[in-house]
Chain A
Amino acid sequence: EAQVTQNPRYLITVTGKKLTVTCSQNMNHEYMSWYRQDPGLGLRQIYYSMNVEVTDKGDVPEGYKVSRKEKRNFPLILESPSPNQTSLYFCASRLGLVDTQYFGPGTRLTVL
């Protein structure tokens, strides 16, 4: 089954404790992205990747890092999480520039 998986689905952590949210897709897609979704602000792109070792900033990259060492994986790293990073995070992938984008199930992160 074609899918995008994210782990963990739920996470409560404390300020400053480094964390990683994993994202993996099994569709051999080149393009992958991370979004955060907040009430009243909608979905905002954090980072995206056009291929292995090629990443670029989206609209809200501050406080986040990504890496794309393998085509299937695109982890999101929060080196020093802060409460304003409490949000619902989605990973997404697609084959090409204008193909259907598949979203993962979301990771609800709370930073205390």
Chain B
Amino acid sequence: QKEVEQDPGPLSVPEGAIVSLNCTYSNSAFQYFMWYRQYSRKGPELLMYTYSSGNKEDGRFTAQVDKSSKYISLFIRDSQPSDSATYLCAMSASGTASKLTFGTGTRLQVTL
């Protein structure tokens, strides 16, 4: 079993929809949780970062962490065609924050 599980998609939604992307994990030591966005033929770029449990909002993006369920989510409101990309979750344990473990990524397509 992988340490981090992520539905690969693809997920196709119409413009304006609310998108929910999720990851589950098995390592209870994970404390730092991140979401990256990767456009085709590009390197990943950090979207959101959360430490421990709770919610974090940045514009149209909201990241949620539920450590009791070992479950993290990224919500995108009012989705736009420019949001079409692969979204990767990543996490690391306290004390070893240089070692990141990534999910396999979910491919999102926002259609007009």
* A positions within 8 Å CB-CB of B: 4, 31, 33, 35, 40-45, 48, 50, 56, 58-59, 90, 92, 97-98, 100-101, 103-106
> Dominant SS at the A interface?
strand
Distance in angstroms from A68 CB to nearest chain B CB is 12
Question: Is A106 in contact with B43, judged by CB distance below 8 angstroms?
Answer: yes
* Interface class of chain B by DSSP: loop
**Residue-wise interface mask of B (23-50) relative to A, using a CB-CB cutoff of 8 A (1 in contact, 0 not):** 0000000001000000001111110010
Task: Tally A-B pairs: CB < 8 A.
Answer: 54
- CB of A31 within 8 A of CB of B98, answer yes
B43 touches A90 (CB 8 A): yes
Are A43 and B99 closer than 8 Å at their CB atoms? no
**B49→A98 contact, CB < 8 A:** yes
Given the complex of chains A and B, what is the CA–CA distance between A98 and B52 in angstroms? 12
Tell me the bound Cα distance from A89 to B33 in angstroms.
Answer: 22
Which residues in B have their C-beta under 8 angstroms from that of A98? 32, 49, 51, 97
Instruction: State the B residues within 8 Å of A (CB).
Output: 6, 8, 32, 41-46, 49, 51, 88, 90, 97-105
A contact residues around B41 at 8 Å (CB): 106
Q: Do residues A97 and B97 form an inter-chain contact, with CB atoms below 8 A? A: yes
Query: Which among B42, B43, B97, B102 is the interface contact of A42 at CB below 8 angstroms?
Result: B102
Which residues of chain B have C-beta atoms less than 8 A from A4's C-beta? 43
Chain A residues lying within 8 Å of B51, measured Cβ to Cβ, are 98
Chain B residue nearest in CB terms to A44: B102
Q: Is the CB of B105 within 8 A of A42?
A: yes
A35 to B104 CA separation, bound complex (whole angstroms): 13
The residue of chain A having its C-beta at the shortest distance from the C-beta of B98 within the complex is A48
Given the known interface contacts A103-B43, A103-B44, the answer about A43 and B98 at a Cβ–Cβ threshold of 8 Å is no
Q: Please, how many angstroms separate the alpha-carbon atoms of A105 and B38 in the complex?
A: 11
Q: Taking A40-B104, A90-B43, A103-B45 as contacts, is the C-beta distance between A45 and B99 under 8 angstroms?
A: yes
Q: Is the CB of A97 within 8 A of B105?
A: no
**Would B32 and A58 count as touching, CB distance under 8 A?**
no
Q: Which residues of B contact A43 (CB under 8 A)?
A: 44, 88, 90, 102, 105
